[in-house]
Chains A and B, each alone.
Chain A
């Protein structure tokens, strides 16, 4: 039997589960899209894999998941306990004294761990790392037993200043492990050895909160895969856009919080780069949400932390993604003030839009697109339903939106699309214009099931230069799973003064961090070409609270790191100058944190594998015409089989391009050309 070489990316979203399978030897690929089953994700998972061939012959599966995100958003994590230093059990409750609503006295916050499940023990680690009082193992064991008796399924241990010296925490962990019945326990120095009590506590606690959920989920999937005789390796995409082993995912589930969306950004960035557009805004429109992210010079933007919901802060490097609740399933309503709202409430895939005829009677964005002729009722995307009920969609729009606003159904449907477009445009402005980037320098990469339906409106609304519609927009996140590198990030607070820096010691520290990160990447078990290490120092002038992230131009080589004293200072001054246009001479400089990433570069995925076959012609791709509603009137739009369109051809709007995983709409004043990789470049007509 030949060695299996097929890698499958599986992105389980709220509405659809998407598949992209790639055979690394034969360069063949396949895609699939099936409905997601909330709570029984393994079903869609295996259903879709089954359509791609024998599961037993797959080399590996890389999974983008929202199971962690959903558990956080819906507060459906485990019952957990926290053991902390005496006097500090309310760190997680006080947060940073931020408020849910700036004005007024309303807005409650309940931490994911109740106060009576936060137990304090005697110990004291000072900020210098000195141990003032040691851990009493018997006290910790007693606390762990109490928490178990109260029903805790996972345990977090967070001691004050443990980033400076983990010994008390590790002693407590050892004591707790001796009485804890499962593997769901960890301490902050293992999860985030970084200064700042609240962020460290929150991240460690949320990790514990997710551990039983994500662990059970992955175990269930692994078991289902094993039953289908899958013998390959199984991986998970992290929020930083890198891949990790399922073993690491079970240990650090908090790093899966933006797993699926991150995979989409990775793919969109790679596609745009290959198409010659290094500066893009990725725009993923799924069934429930719209996710945007900025790619500059081909690089995704990483943020140091994110707030999943009010007070739920996760500090770990992650791709900066802005999400709003607008998707194909977003429900359109007229609110009490008489204003038309679209989302955030979504009909998801079940019951789904009205046109799915599965019991939902409230009109959605997809229903509006259907009524406007933009979606083909006979060829819906995904395999949820065989055809769409146009009349039901129109009736729902008339009833819920048309009548309350005094609009006819067509105008009401157009209004729904316009409100949704305005919300999406707002999200794009937030990451571009409001951060000082000129949108004219950026192109959009619309993807997800619905992104390409709205691309034209978005580039016109926001003033973007073009839209690059990937060849398979509906399975972009799944493609991202296949091409993403393996990555492991670490952080360690150092608190060193630059003036009396012992460079040899710092270099040794960096090497040790890099070797540890490297080991995680090597253990992941996916084929890689090489491993790179990336070092960054968080630095500031003494007295400042915020830091700048200073990249160091050095790598781990033969187990050591070359570091010159001047390298650190000049790197800091360069970064500081770029951010603030000045330096502060005479003020001492401090190194706060060391950030280390090991990146295992996967064999380069040549997107030419997706390019259209030579020998097709635009005439063969033509499927006739259909009435499509634009700007208050029906227009006759050309219909094309998108995948049959040859490279190099250009079409003018109005046109609708159909393919199994998505629909692309070309507005009357736009033109689209197919590039050599099969992407569609949509621009304003000259």
Chain B
């Protein structure tokens, strides 16, 4: 592949294999992953079912499926 100045090649890879149901992950750990930037806020909501408070980043909502 020949790349000229100003061009870029972008590779997007998945974040590695996982194990288990994302929605079973401890929500505090999900909050920590978001704080450290490993998972985005949207990812936390869609994949882990965790919504974080905007002010202190603590998990605030119950999960729609596992929790009542």
Contact = CB atoms under 8 A, between A and B. Distances in A.
A114 B37 CA distance: 10
Contacts of A74: none
Interface string A210-228: 0000000000000000000
Decide if the interface of chain A is mainly helix, strand, loop or mixed: helix
B23 interface: no
Contacts, number: 7
A96 interface: no
B63 interface: no
A499 interface: no
Nearest to A110: B36
Nearest to B17: A105
A286 to B, nearest CB: 38
Interface in A99-123: 114-116
B50 to A, nearest CB: 17
A5 B38 CA distance: 59
B35 interface: yes
A114 B35 CA distance: 10
Contacts of A115: 36-38
Contacts of B37: 115-116
Interface in B5-50: 35-38
Contacts of A114: 36
Interface in A114-161: 114-116
Interface in A378-412: none
A115 B35 CA distance: 8
Contacts of B35: 116
A116 B37 CA distance: 7
A430 B12 CA distance: 45
A501 to B, nearest CB: 34
B13 to A, nearest CB: 14
A115 B38 CA distance: 9
A115 B39 CA distance: 12
A276 B37 CA distance: 60
B32 to A, nearest CB: 9
B31 to A, nearest CB: 12
Nearest to A117: B36
Nearest to B37: A115
Nearest to B35: A116
B56 to A, nearest CB: 12
A116 B38 CA distance: 10
A115 B36 CA distance: 5
B54 to A, nearest CB: 16
Contacts of B36: 114-116
Nearest to A89: B37
Contacts of B38: 115
B39 to A, nearest CB: 12
A121 to B, nearest CB: 16
Nearest to B34: A116
Contacts of A116: 35-37
Nearest to B33: A115
Nearest to A115: B36
B38 to A, nearest CB: 7
A114 B38 CA distance: 12
B10 to A, nearest CB: 14
A236 B35 CA distance: 39
Nearest to B38: A115
Point out which of B35, B36, B38 has the most chain A C-beta atoms below 10 A from its C-beta.
Answer: B36
A110 to B, nearest CB: 10
A116 B36 CA distance: 5
A132 to B, nearest CB: 14
Interface string A491-508: 000000000000000000
B12 to A, nearest CB: 16
A116 B35 CA distance: 6
Nearest to A114: B36
A116 B34 CA distance: 10
Interface in A445-481: none
B7 to A, nearest CB: 18
A115 B37 CA distance: 7
Interface string A333-353: 000000000000000000000
Nearest to A93: B36
A28 to B, nearest CB: 59
A232 to B, nearest CB: 48
A194 to B, nearest CB: 29
A60 B29 CA distance: 51
A147 to B, nearest CB: 14
B62 to A, nearest CB: 25
A357 B51 CA distance: 54
Nearest to B36: A115
A237 to B, nearest CB: 37
B4 to A, nearest CB: 19
A114 B34 CA distance: 12
A73 to B, nearest CB: 24
7 contacts: A114-B36, A115-B36, A115-B37, A115-B38, A116-B35, A116-B36, A116-B37
Lowest 6 A-B CB distances belong to which pairs?
A: A115-B36, A116-B35, A116-B36, A115-B37, A114-B36, A116-B37
